[in-house]
Structure 1
Amino acid sequence: MAPRLPPLPQVLDLLPDAVCIVDEGGHLLFVNAAFERLLGHAADAVRGRILFDFIHPDDRATSQRQAEALMQGGGERHFRNRYLHRQGHVVELLWSAHWLPEQRLRIGVAREIGELRRAERELEHHANHDPLTGLANRRRLQHALRNALAEAAESGGQVSLLYLDLTGFKQVNDRGGHEAGDRVLCEVAKRLQQGVRQIDLVARIGGDEFVVLLAGCDAGHARGMAQQLRQQLRVPCTLRDGPLQMDASIGTATFPADGRTPEALLAHADQAMYASRRPR
C-alpha cells in the first residue's frame, strides 16, 4: 500500500514561520500553529477576522497598499511590517506574499525578525556615533548638514555651525593619562548636549574637536550660543588628582553668507576657530 500523505494543515503546523491565507477582503481563512506562537492568537479566535486588525496602527496603511498592489500584479513580494502581539508588545515580521488570481486568495509566510532588526539598529548606531561619547560622528554630521542646507535653501532659512576645539587637552592626557582624557571628553559631550536645543546636533569629529549644528540659527544666535557653551565648559571638571579648568576655542559659520556646501561651512568654521585663538 502506497504511503498516505498527512493533511496539509498538519504539515504547515510544523513550520517555524507563520502561514496565513486571506481572501481579497483581507479576512483570515487559515493560519498555522506558528501564527499563534508568534502573535499569541489561536487559529479559532482569528478565523474570519481582518488580518489588518492585528497590524501595528502605524503600519496598516502601508501594508494595505502592499496587499492591493500585489493583487493587481505589482507590489513587493517581500516586505516588513509590525504586528501587535496578544499581550500588547510589538512583533516585527518579514513577509513573503503571493496572490492566487484564480482562487482570489493571498498566501503569506512571515518570519519574526526582531533579533535581525536589533542587530541592524546596533550596526547603524555604531556607523553614525562616536563610540566614546555617544555623540554623532563625522558621517552622521555630514548627512544631517546636507539635509539642513537643502531645507534652508528651499525655505530661505539659515543654518549655523560651531567648530569647537578644547584648549590644553594634551596636558590632560599628560597629567592623568588617556583615562583622564576620556573622562574629560565625555564630560564635554555631556555639557554640550545639555547646552543646546533638542533639535540641534552635537558631533565629535575627532580627538578633542566637536561641531554643533544649529538649524534655523543666524550668525548672531550662533555667536551667542558659542559664548554660552564656552561658559559652561569653563566650569572646573573634577579629576582624580583635583579639579581641571577647561576652556575651548569656538569658531562659527552661517549658511549662506559663509558657505553653501557642507565642506565650505566646515572649513569656514574651522578657520574661524583658529582665528579666535590669536591674541587681539
Structure 2
Amino acid sequence: MFRFKHLLLSFLIVFAGCWLTACGNQKRQTQPINKLALVKSGQTDQPRIWYHFSQSHSHVTAKDSVNALFVLKKGKVTTYMLPTGKDKVTLNRLSHMSTSAQINWAKNQDKQAFRAGVATQQDKVASSIAGIKSDLKRLQKSNSDPSQVKALQQYLKINEAIHDNPSKYAAPVAYPLTAVQQSHGEQFGLKLYPVKTVQYGDANVIMASELSLSNYTFDKRIQPQKIDGHYYGGYSSAINDNHYLILTQVTKQTRIVYDKQKTTGVSKPVTAE
C-alpha cells in the first residue's frame, strides 16, 4: 500500500510538472507580436525617440556614440543634434533616462553641439587665415604683382569675416515626417544639422547646414537586440565602409517592418515617364 501511494504521488508530481511546462510553452507561443514601422510610430500623440548612429561597424553597442535624436510625434519629427568627439553621448547614457527627460536634455545638448561645431569650424578657418597671412607676407617681400597682393588681402578679409561672424543658434523646429518606399527598403525624410562653412547669400557663413537622409536607402531591418538591459530595433544602411543606423527602444516581441503606402507621409518613388 505504501508503495502504491508513493507511485501515485510521483505520477501526480510528474503530471503537474508537464502541465506547468505546457502552460508555459503555450504562454510563450501566444505572446502578441507588435509590428513597428518608423513613420507609423510617429503618428501618435506620445513622442517616440529614434537614435541616429554613423559608425564604421554594423552592430551597435552601449558605448557607441549617438549623433542625433529624432523625436517623432503627431506626424512630425524634430532633430536634436548631439555633441561628438570628447563630449560624445553614448547609448548607455541615454538608456537610463525617461523619454521626457531625454527630450528636455537633448534641447540643451543641441545648443552645445552647435557651439562645439562652430568652434571646430573656427579652428579650421583660423588655420587658413594663418596660411594666407604667411603667403601675403611672402608676396609683399618679393614685390609681387599688386593685383595678386590685393586679391589675397581680399581673401584674407573674407576668411576673417567667416571666423568672426558665425550664424546665431536657432532652436530645432519640427518638420513633416515622410518616407519613400523602395523595392528593398525605405528612404526616410529625416534631417541632420551638422555645423559647416557654407555659402549663404553672397557670403560664406559658419552655420548649421541641413543634411537630408532621403538619399539613404535603409535596406536592412534590425530586429530587437538587447543592449545594456534594453531592447532596440530599427533600420540600417551601409555605404562603402560606413554604417548608418536608426534605432528605437522596443520590446523583445516587437517585429520591425517597413511602412506601408497607406500610412500618412509615405509614398512610392516618382518614376520618369
Higher relative contact order (CA 8 A, sep 6+): 2
Output the TM-score relative to the length of structure 2.
0.22
Output the TM-score relative to the length of structure 1.
0.21
Q: Give the structure with the larger helix fraction.
A: 1
Q: Give the structure with the larger strand fraction.
A: 2
